[in-house]
Amino acid sequence: MEHFQFHRVFMFASALAMVVVAIAADQLQTLPGCTSTCGDTQIPYPFGVGNSSTQPQQPCSLNPNFDLVCNNSTLLLGNITVLSINIQAHQMDVMFWVARFCNDSNNNNPWMTIADFSISRNENKFLTVGCDSVGLLNSNYDNKTYSTGCLTRCYGNNVEIDNGTCSGIGCCQVDIPPRMRDINVEAFPYSDSSRDCSYSFVAKHGSYNFSTTHLRSFPYETLPLVLDWTVGDKKCSDLESGRGEYACKENSHCNDTDTNFGYRCTCDDGYEGNPYLGCTDIDECKTDNHTCISEQNCLNTNGSHICFCPHGQSGNGTKGVGCQQKDVVYKVVIGVGVAIVILFVGTTSLYLIYQKRKLVKLREKYFKQNGGSILLQQLSTRENSSQMTQIFSEEELKKATNNFDESLIIGSGGFGTVFKGFLANNRTVAIKKSKIVDQSQKEQFINEVIILSQINHRNVVKLLGCCLEREVPLLVYEFVENGTLFDFLHTERKINNETWKTRLRIAAEAAEALSYLHSAASIPIIHRDVKTANILLDNTYIAKVSDFGASRLVPLDQTEIATMVQGTFGYLDPEYLLTSQLTEKSDVYSFGVVLVELLTGEKPHSFGKPEEKRSLANHFLSCLKEDILFDIVQGGIVNEENQKEITEVAILAAKCLRLNGDERPSMKEVAMELEAIRYLAKPPYINRDQNLENQYLLHEASSMIFELGDNSSLQHTGYDSIRDCVLIALDNGR
């Protein structure tokens, strides 16, 4: 025991903290966000009203058997009024109806069927009031019925009835037998000649006092009775062996003593509170329920307490042994021990402070290194606060992704890994963990973040903000629920499940988004990696263009820029691959491949197919040339009504796939034509002579000499006109 005296200073601090926690926890009688009272009636868990206001899907009760309703400050269990709930005694006071039988035929035999509840045999009596009256209390449970009751007869002599006493004449009463659950109460006359009314009811002890006036006019329609309640239908032994869900929480245990059905939860010794939410420690030192010589010599612990002696004395501090003075040597030992502890705590604190400062400086370094200062300067000049880019801290995004848990990865590729995250405000986001930013391009990176955050288009994934406090910057986007267009087209379970109209609408929406990026954004943006894997679908299959990791901002005075070739094999513009000159027409070519993918349901390149069919674009143009378009269109989406639409989309795709970028339509024209096809009305600039159009395309397809096959050297290398170097294999862009 003397060991505790050495550390009483630290133990006292711990005890104080536990007292504060206990006081706060003592108030916890309901789940967070749930109603705690109805009128003047407390509603302790496992009972509850409705669902939590903070978690709408979380019921406030343990199960439906404990659901209550608060109606105009009246608490109801089914159609029964609840007066009070005792969580420790596992009892509930309710108002229950009086059974009545009179010659006016206005009679009633009330019933009550409530799971997990039974009539308390210790707290109630069954009574019958009347002359020549019989009352029955029936229990119907588990397909069995049994009853109790009593008979009272006056033989017409009302004078001999004792007023105020339920003696058996005029008023009779019996004890409640065990296992009375689903009950109904009956009152009826002893004989057909009786003209008096009969009343039967269950009443809580002390809630009813008999009066002879009640024989003429009974004043009550309802009277209070006490229900015993338990949890579930299992016994403690079943729960300990793992059969059934256990309702008892921290510092409590299962108790099925004196229970006919189910079990109860009881706080462990030394604890108090609601066992269905978790019991809290009782401070025995404050309640005088301790064995110490005084409160000053008592230290509360979890579930118990410790007695100690004052400074300068020895002993265990209990009332039986007490404390005695100790020698000087002992004081020296205590002093040395305390000094060692203080030295250890101080050294540890200094080390933790040093590590924290080191981490703060490292984050500041990364913030500046990734262009954070430039971003802050740009944001300070922004006038529209509604489009303000949010700068997230690393801790926020770690918490949102459970420290970047691999189970939350929803996409990965050459430009980074994308995690599903949940912000503190319950918003679901997509968090992209990018590759290390090139320090020579950090200003351009920040400018892209600012420009992309200003994009506000329903078919473009919204950039919400970024985190620059780490070596690898993080970008935060809105979360789109339904996966990618690539999955939509190529996942086996989704093939042929969606109509052609859905595909046509997705194509039109994606084209509108790219048109917006090219011509309507404050600074034109070339996506540079248009593909079905970068077109997301929300829960209503609305298209949203995403992944701007390879995009480039185009100055307003330039129509093309020289840049390192990047993109995804199968979607790459042949002209861009040869010249490294990036224009908006490069996106048009890639979108043409997307249209062919929507038409055919095939992937843009398949190494396992014959050489003439490996490139989807080349194979498509070949089929168009040979006038066998519908041989390559995916089966199941063609019908008599949409053949013309499919043909027109195929012609539009062929225009987008022209080798010469200048001859391709702009994305704005593509978007307009797709909308025209959707509404069966082509815009004026489209040639309505179908035969002439086919002849033109067949001639153009036959003149194509560039083919991305297995023998093409261009598929493995690219030329960077800025750095004058050869690149190794093209990235897949994800």
Question: Which residues, 6+ apart, have CB-to-CB distance to 204 below 8 Å?
Answer: 93, 123, 124, 223, 224, 225, 226
Largest CA distance in the chain: 123
**Owner of token pair 């002879």:** 212
Distance, CA of 171 to CA of 358 (rounded, Å): 85
Whether 662 is catalytic is no
Q: Where are the beta strands (DSSP E) in 376-516?
A: 390-391, 409-413, 416-422, 428-434, 463-467, 474-478
Asked whether the beta carbons of 43 and 30 are under 8 A apart, the reply is yes
3 state DSSP class of 91:
strand
Question: Which residues, 6+ apart, have CB-to-CB distance to 50 below 8 Å?
Answer: 34, 35, 59, 60
Bridge partners (DSSP) of residue 307 are 298
Residue type, 568: T
Q: What are phi and psi of 723, to 5 degrees?
A: -100, -5
**Owner of token pair 């009640």:** 214
Q: What are phi and psi of 138, to 5 degrees?
A: -105, 140
Q: Tokens in use for 163? A: 């007023």
Asked whether the beta carbons of 585 and 573 are under 8 A apart, the reply is yes
**Are β-strands 74-77 and 80-86 bridged in parallel, bridged antiparallel, or unpaired?**
antiparallel
Going by C-alpha positions, the residue among 110, 92, 112, 120 that lies closest to residue 176 is 120
Distance, CA of 404 to CA of 640 (rounded, Å): 50
Given 93, 116, 228, 529, the catalytic residue:
529
Q: How many CB atoms lie within 10 A of CB 553?
A: 18
Residue type, 148: T
Q: How many CB atoms lie within 10 A of CB 592?
A: 26
Cα angle value 538/544/550 (rounded, 5°) = 135
Bridge partners (DSSP) of residue 525 are 553
Asked whether the beta carbons of 516 and 575 are under 8 A apart, the reply is no
**Owner of token pair 């159609």:** 79
Distance, CA of 734 to CA of 446 (rounded, Å): 20
Asked whether the beta carbons of 621 and 615 are under 8 A apart, the reply is no
Asked whether the beta carbons of 571 and 625 are under 8 A apart, the reply is no
Q: How many CB atoms lie within 10 A of CB 667?
A: 26
**Owner of token pair 């390149």:** 605
Asked if the peptide bond before residue 46 counts as cis, ω within 30 degrees of 0, the response is yes
Q: 518 — alpha (psi -120 to 50), left (phi > 0) or beta?
A: alpha
Bridge partners (DSSP) of residue 405 are none
Q: What are phi and psi of 430, to 5 degrees?
A: -110, 125
Asked if residue 433 belongs to a known ligand binding site, the reply is yes
Binding residues for ATP: 433
Cite the active site residues.
Answer: 529
